[in-house]
Chains A and B, each alone.
Chain A
């Protein structure tokens, strides 16, 4: 058989292929030749064939049939074979295939080879892709090599040890004796890799950290020598002596000095020295300065040093090199909480970075700008940020808008300014605003009583201009519904009142109902707004007509509303004025606004649960009723005795057994105390104890969260709060997360409770649970429990996962006692 073609020739040939198909043909031909050559156990050309295979693998073609051949090459005595064999192993094998374990023996032999380059190959391969089993088997050999006097091998062994420790952390102890003299090495390679090894050990184990703290003086000395020593051609990079080692030492010092006063004190001088003496003209110098700043900010440094560090970052911000600016913004973001004032000094530079061309820099600058907003600079900052909002890419708009709202809420100098700012955001970035801002804004508007006329006027004008941005339209229609009378009467003080008639207002609202641009939610808003105007306007007949038309709408939501409003006109007309009167001021009890505002499908209603409103409460309650039927109408809850105490009974039982053990063996035993159930003795006593004290909202720490459901990658956690005015209401927030690789879309959470309870589900934050725990869906449940019975819940989950619908029913029984007592 003719000798197989040489590697370079194959490469040349393949590169002449003009089409993908031609290339594939050549590759297939060659693969066939290689395969038959492998079958013939050809020792001479195996190396060449595997090399060719590796090339084809890089082009994207399958090469798994060469895996065993790599192992044969590794076992060969020829250096060329070993070199290619190990390369092949690193490229083609990985720890998921059992085949790789066959390498272990070869590597073991090669680790003890007489030629250091062979030992080097083995160390490299083990340190690059060794699995935990391999690492366990070969750790001893690596440790031996770590103590050798051959610096070539010692440096490789150190990095290989790092890999071993990452894979099998328990083996860390084994390398401890070998680390004793690592830092006294003169060889920079060994020094560098030793510092890496020490860093890894300190990061993983607090004991090691304590042990190695005594090395701080030695590290400081090494660093000092590097800076002070003259030019050393071997390690010089643009006039700086071994920057790689300097950076590594600084990083290790950071870990050692963190939260330790003495060590931090010992490194103060050298940090100051590095910070002031390093050349900043090239990237190398800046790399060292960057690491120094990170270290200064992380250890317990004195304030002068910290100011020095922030100033370095400030200088970075003015650097022409965008990489440096990026790095500065990232670091400033980390330090803005702790050294706020120092960072404030650089505010104007940071705001300038908003105009940078680079996306990452813009994002960092935006985050930093929001962090720097305070009562003093709010007007100026907001001007810049709103300008940024106008001109930025869509990917930023949602975050920027949310940031503006938050900042405005915290620092607004006046109510009018606040409302103007919100208007500005809604009109410029209205479609990017998050869904939960609509109720937030509505609440804000409601609470700014003196601004009602001004607000509704401005919103009306905005509606006339543009009805495409849904959040704006929703807020506007709500306001018009509430304050339409102020609009028509022209009472505005803040600006020139406009003249508008009732019919014009109704025209606009009806326009929203029919427009293609309006979403169903928006339509719901408009219809309700029209209805509310029936008590504020005089043209009631027109409103009656509109409402009756929509009684036969295809949209179920609209239809239901229209039918109910119709009923209001006909049978309950005496109740109409009271029902549709002006909203009271809503109280915000928690800083996360929407949880306290009751919503049903995005519409706001008064916060006090009112039996009069039951007919108006839409879908979720009805669904809850359906589920109650599913429960089988079984509302007989044997109050507490039978269900809950089973746990503490067994826990008590275990305690007894353990105590028994204690008396026998006298050894220490750990008693696991299941937190919520252990304190339960007799329920009536607990009730007596708790019912006298109202539980406050922020004792969520007192009521532990629980996992209500965990199946198929979907996990739902419940966290608890108590509603302030009424201790019988438990506010549960569900957090749904998804560990699978695919999103769960159209996610709907429904819950049913026994008949003695009342349940209310507020709108979910979204109906997509993102994959891989990248986010969560939250939803608030309010449970009214006047009889203080044990809370039980049946939940129904529906979602679409990887294209197919999933439905599941589950019972949730493990509520902590504090949530219903």
Chain B
């Protein structure tokens, strides 16, 4: 995969993950053009389109478009499954995910994506494993934040970690 974009029906970007090195200007240009192209597609059209020299796979879930650019030798149908798996992960994590969850917790959406894909390829094909890893990492983040009340008196001086 070369990149993945999530955007709303009005064309607002909600997440962008690039697996190829491009300048900011190029990224903006590509994003703008691709968003326009995908939004112009009618509902009856198929989920694949040729764009520049890449294949683009997109799917709409509620109000969000999930759009991936893959290379010529990649399998389009399995990419649809990858997108679906990511949505399932988000769904499990947030509990019935909706666009607002991704807007307000964009950094978590990124963390989940980075736990599922690395360099554009799937790291783990088990939903359970990916979610477990995220959970553990979150705990690592949490455990130093609010110490249990019983010891807050003692460790009040130690804690400097603030929530985002």
Contact = CB atoms under 8 A, between A and B. Distances in A.
A427 to B, nearest CB: 31
A361 B111 CA distance: 37
A51 B122 contact: no
Given A162-B121, A244-B125, A360-B50, A287 B144 contact: no
Given A87-B107, A358-B46, A80 B23 contact: no
Contacts of A247: 75, 78
Contact of B140 (A6, A117, A245): A117
- For chain B, the bracket of interface size reads 35 or more
Given A87-B110, A162-B119, A244-B81, A117 B103 contact: no
B162 A45 contact: yes
Given A95-B21, A247-B78, A322 B45 contact: yes
A283 B80 CA distance: 8
Nearest to A287: B77
A675 interface: no
Contacts of B13: 58-60
Contacts of B76: 323, 327
Given A54-B107, A87-B107, A323 B77 contact: yes
A166 to B, nearest CB: 8
A482 to B, nearest CB: 44
Contacts of A359: 45
Contacts of B161: 78, 80
B46 A326 contact: yes
A370 interface: no
B118 A159 contact: yes
A685 B126 CA distance: 75
Given A117-B133, A189-B125, A235-B126, A360 B48 contact: yes
Interface stretch (A121-129, A539-547, A703-711): A121-129
Given A45-B162, A244-B78, A361-B46, A58 B16 contact: yes
Contacts of B140: 79, 115, 117
B111 A243 contact: no
Given A124-B114, A283-B77, A284-B81, A244 B122 contact: yes
B28 interface: yes
B164 interface: yes
B103 A11 contact: yes
Contact of A160 (B28, B45, B118): B118
A113 B163 CA distance: 24
- Interface residue tally on A, bucketed by range: 35 or more
B107 A322 contact: no
A83 B77 contact: no
Contacts of A322: 44-46
A44 interface: yes
A104 B13 CA distance: 30
B75 A291 contact: yes
Contacts, number: 178
Interface string B13-36: 111101101111000100000000
A188 B126 contact: yes
A192 interface: yes
B118 A189 contact: no
B46 to A, nearest CB: 4
A290 interface: yes
B137 A160 contact: no
A48 interface: yes
B118 A79 contact: no
B106 interface: yes
B129 interface: yes
A234 B126 contact: yes
A727 to B, nearest CB: 43
Contacts of A242: 125
A128 B77 contact: no
A252 B4 CA distance: 24
Contacts of A91: 16
Nearest to A244: B125
A81 B66 CA distance: 28
Contacts of B18: 129
B118 A128 contact: yes
A117 B137 contact: yes
Given A83-B141, A94-B21, A115-B140, A189 B46 contact: no
B45 to A, nearest CB: 5
Contact of A360 (B46, B80, B111, B118): B46
Given A11-B103, A127-B119, A44 B75 contact: no
B99 to A, nearest CB: 12
B49 interface: yes
Nearest to B123: A155
Contacts of A129: 18, 21
B47 interface: yes
A523 interface: no
Given A7-B164, A193-B121, A235-B125, A94 B22 contact: yes
A235 B46 CA distance: 27
Contacts of A244: 78, 81-82, 122, 125
Interface in B90-140: 103-104, 106-107, 110-111, 114-115, 118-119, 121-129, 133, 136-137, 140
B77 A6 contact: no
B160 interface: yes
B75 A287 contact: yes
Residue in A44, A79, A245, A357 with the greatest tally of chain B CB atoms within 10 Å: A79
Interface string A170-184: 000000000000000
Most-contacted residue by chain A among B42, B45, B118, B136 (CB, 10 A): B118
A325 interface: yes
A15 B10 CA distance: 14
Interface in B44-73: 44-50, 73
A90 B27 CA distance: 13
B70 to A, nearest CB: 13
B80 A156 contact: no
A358 B44 contact: yes
Given A287-B78, A358-B46, A159 B123 contact: yes
Given A87-B114, A129-B21, A234-B128, 12 more contacts: A8-B164, A47-B162, A54-B107, A83-B141, A84-B107, A117-B140, A159-B118, A189-B123, A245-B125, A251-B73, A286-B77, A326-B46
Q: 4 closest Cβ contacts across the A-B interface?
A: A287-B77, A189-B124, A322-B46, A159-B118
11 contacts: A6-B163, A58-B15, A87-B111, A120-B133, A156-B118, A188-B125, A189-B126, A189-B129, A247-B75, A291-B75, A360-B48
Interface of B: 13-16, 18-19, 21-24, 28, 42, 44-50, 73, 75-78, 80-82, 85, 103-104, 106-107, 110-111, 114-115, 118-119, 121-129, 133, 136-137, 140-141, 144-145, 160-164
